[in-house]
Amino acid sequence: MCKLCILTNILEELKNISEINKLVEHFFRHESAKMISVLTGIFGKNNLILVEDIVQDTLIEAISNWTYKGIPENPVGWLYTVAKNKSLNAIKRKKHQEKYISESLYFTKVQEHTKLNSVHFFSEESISDDQLRMMFMCCHPSISKDSQIALMLKTLCGFNIAEIAKSFLTNKESINKRLVRARKTIREDNVPFEVPSKQELDTRVEAVLEAIYLLFNEGYSASNGDKLIRTELCQESIRLAEMVANHKAITNKSNPYALIALMQLNSSRFKAREDENGNILTLSQQNRSLWDYHIMEQGFSNLKKAANIEHISKYHILAAVSAYHCSSKDFASTDWKSILTLYDKLLIIDNSPIVILNRAIVLSKVGKNKKALKELEIIENDKTIKSNHLFYSVKAEFLVQLEKHDMAKKTLKKAIELAPLTQEKQMLENRFKNLF
């Protein structure tokens, strides 16, 4: 065979491997949390690491098998069958039987599951119920709030450590410590794998919704990779929130509906956020005919469902902000004064640096550039802001508007340096060239 033919074959093989890796990653996002939830219900909550290992081994085997044998007709069914077989092999090993026999409830359940076929092993009903149990186990009050959300993002949402660290605006070492503490608490406090009683539901639901919102934010503006938007993460976020809203035990559905509305209204604008070359388009540059008005209507409908409540959450306010953007016929007609009023209310609930940053942007839109810049000075030394490229990008824009060009140039360079995605760096570099 000629060298060119060999090279062509190698390149084709590498292409196939790349496509398979992307497919496995897609299934990891969509199916790993389901498998982890069901297997936790079988093996017991004290064996989360074993469960995660089984799921990870399944995905590794998928990469190896599919690379050489091709992608099966039903890849999801293939994953569940392999996960089931690996689980049964773990059960059969005497050392695991001895380990799990003390947990009689789980061992009995394991024995029952060994008699079932793969369809029932991972049935839709079993998956849905166990995912809800997993959500609430992760959000048990004995676990710290930060650890609750980190554990949910890891076990239920398929996040890696780097993605969780970005969501918390912290480092990977800190996230690892939180996960270790959370798993230790689950073991030592015997945290139940169940949906809590009605008395506990409201407080526990809030932690669940916070984790889902962080998942959506990672999809809305990715922390790494070559895509600005990770649509599958956003879709998964909406699915999880709908699972919470639709559960019969949850009577106060206003906050779940408000979060769903927020995510749907934001995701309705996805197709207009990039041009045909993948360049980022700001809200003022977007072609609004590309917005998905079907998803938008669903968002408005869910916002209406969320309205009948005395307590207003941050999701209600942020969804209302998004609704103003969606209902404006063009950027020039955006009702910035009403949006500013909403942010004033949001500050009472959540005065975090990110909220202050976003409110400062709105202040500038109503002509209060000096005040907007002063608001940024309040948060500029916050440790969660110092590594945030958006802070420096926004600050540079304010400085340009106030004709402080030397300071603006230095600040925009800092934003370019910190931008995590290629598209974001390119957008900021283009802005730098146009301004200076």
Residue 92 has φ and ψ, to the nearest 5°, of -70, -25
Which residues, other chains included, contact 393 with Cβ-Cβ below 8 Å and sequence gap of 6+? 412, 415, 428
User: Tokens 């005919």 belong to which residue?
Assistant: 289
The number of beta carbons lying within 10 Å of the beta carbon of residue 102 is 10
In contact, 299 and 327? CB cutoff 8 Å:
no
Residue 121: its pLDDT value, please?
Answer: 61
Structure tokens at 424: 């974001």
CB 240 within 8 A of CB 212: yes
Structure confidence at residue 8 (pLDDT): 41
Amino acid identity of residue 1, one-letter, is M
Q: Which of 361, 227, 207, 356 is nearest to 284 (CA)?
A: 361
DSSP state of 335: -
* Distance spanning both ends of the chain, measured CA to CA: 56
pLDDT attached to residue 224: 60
CA distance 29 to 38: 16
Per the DSSP assignment, residues forming a β-bridge with 280 are: 274
With left for phi above 0 and alpha for psi between -120 and 50, is residue 207 left, alpha or beta? alpha
pLDDT of 119: 45
**Confidence (pLDDT) at 214:** 86
Of 73, 78, 183, 194, nearest in space to 131 by CA = 194
Crossing angle of helices 422-435/389-401, nearest 10°?
20
Place of tokens 């990653």: 25
Q: Residue 212 corresponds to which tokens in the numbers above?
A: 């889902």
Q: Which residues of the chain have pLDDT under 50?
A: 2-8, 10-15, 94, 104-105, 107-108, 113-119
Nearest C-alpha neighbor of 419 from the set 135, 224, 143: 224
**Dist CA 57 CA 59 (whole Å):** 5
**DSSP H helices in 328-368:** 336-349, 353-365
Sort 398 into a burial class: Cβ within 10 Å, 0-12 / 13-18 / 19+.
buried
Domains of the chain and any CATH numbers = 1-118 (no CATH), 363-436 (1.25.40)
- From its phi and psi, is residue 71 left (phi > 0), alpha (psi between -120 and 50) or beta? beta
Quote the CA–CA distance of 332 and 123 in Å, as a whole number: 50
Whole-prediction pTM: 0.78
Q: Is 199 left (phi over 0), alpha (psi -120 to 50) or beta?
A: alpha
DSSP-derived secondary structure letter, 278: S
